[in-house]
Amino acid sequence: MASSTTTDPSMLADFRSHLQKSRRICALLGAGLSASSGLPTFRGAGGLWRTHDATVLATPQAFRADPSLVWHFYSYRRHMALNAKPNAAHHALAQLAKHKPQFITLSQNVDGLSPRAGHPPEQLKLLHGSLYDLKCTDQRECGYKESNNYTDPIVPSLVIPQGGDVAASDETTTDSSSQIDHTKNLIHGLDISDIKHDIPTIQTSDLPQCPSCQKALLRPGVVWFGESLPEDVMADVDAFFSSAEPIDLMLVVGTSAVVYPAAGYIQFAKHKGARVAVVNPDPSSGNSLDLGPGGKDWFFMEDAAKILPEMLRPVIGDIEGSQ
C-alpha cells in the first residue's frame, strides 16, 4: 500500500525514471534516517544529554577526564538503539543495495539499524563506526578490537536503573509529532538522559575492561571528534569515487551534510555527473541543490520512512514496514 506523501507526483516520477536507469549510486545517511525509529539525533534541538553537550562527550578528552560519565552516555545510546527497530527507510535502502550491486552507502550513523535491516555489509560503509564495536584504549600496545557486541548492559554497573517509565513499545512510529513519546518508550527503566534521575559515578574497576591486555579500559568503537575515520572504510570509499566511471545518482538522507569529509562527497558525486536527491524535512537542506525549472536535483522535504519506500518502489517493489 502506498504511503501518503505531499511530494509533487511529477518530481517523484522524474526521480524514479532516473533511478531505474542508474547503475552507480551513492547514499549519504545521517541521524535523521533513524528519527522515525524513535532515536534522538543529539545534534539538533540543543543536543544535550543531561546537562552535557553531546558533542563534547564524544571526545577522547572527555573519556580520559570522566570515563564513567562517557560510558553512561554510550550505554544509554546502546540501550536505546537495541530497543528501537529499523524503519521503512532502512529496509528500503537495504533492498536497493540488493537490487543495485554498484550502490554504496556511506552512513554517519552508529546505531546499528541499517545492518539490522539486512543492508549488505560489503555495500555499507560505517564512517563513524558502531555503538556495538569496542576497542582497547591502548591501541598502540594492545590493539584489541571487538565487533557486534550487543550485550545490554555491557557490564552490570551500567544497567539502566528501574523506575516508572514506560516499557519498550513493539511498534515503530513514523509520526514526528510522537517522536518524543516513542523515544521514552525505548527505555526499560528510568530515562537517565533526564537530569532529575541521578546516575552513580562508577569506579574504573567496574567499567568495561580489555579482556586482552587486562590493563586498560574498553571504549566504544565509534569515531570521536578529533579522530580519523577508519582506514579500511575510507579506502573502499575512495576507490568508489576515484573510479573512472561516472556516478549516476547521489542520495542524501537525514543529514544536514555539514560534517566533513562526508559532506564533500556530495560535490564529488556531482563532479562525476550525479544528480542529487535530498530527503530531509528541514527546508534548509535543499539550499545547495540545482532545483527549479530545468534543475537536475530533487528535494523531498519529508520523513525518510514515509517517502523513501515510495521513491524506490519501481526497483525494490513493496517492502515490509511500508504503509
Please check if 26 is assigned to a binding site.
no
28/259 Cα distance (integer angstroms): 11
- Helix, strand, coil shares of the chain, percent, nearest 5, are 35, 15, 50
Please choose, from the candidates 144, 140, 127, 146, the residue with its C-alpha nearest in 3D space to the C-alpha of residue 228.
Answer: 127
How far is CA 101 from its chain centroid?
21
Please tell me whether 136 is known to bind a ligand.
yes
State the catalytic residue, choosing from 79, 119, 128, 182.
128
Short-list 315, 293, 268, CA closest to 21: 315
Instruction: Evaluate whether 38 touches 179 at the Cβ level (below 8 Å).
Output: yes
* Residue tagged 590493539 (cell numbers): 143
- Rounded Cα distance between 176 and 154, Å, is 30
Spatial separation of the C-alpha atoms in residues 219 and 208, rounded to whole Å: 8
Burial of 214 (0-12, 13-18, 19+ CB in 10 A): exposed
Among this protein's residues, is 197 annotated catalytic?
A: no
Quickly count: other Cβ atoms within 10 Å of residue 216's Cβ.
Answer: 17
Q: Count other Cβ atoms within 10 Å, centred on residue 266.
A: 20
**Residue 1 to residues 286, 304, 311, 318: CA-CA distances in angstroms?**
28, 16, 13, 8
Q: How far is CA 146 from the centre of its chain?
A: 20
The annotated binding site for Zn(2+) is made up of: 136, 142, 210, 213
The annotated binding site is made up of: 136, 142, 210, 213
Residue positions annotated with a catalytic role? 128
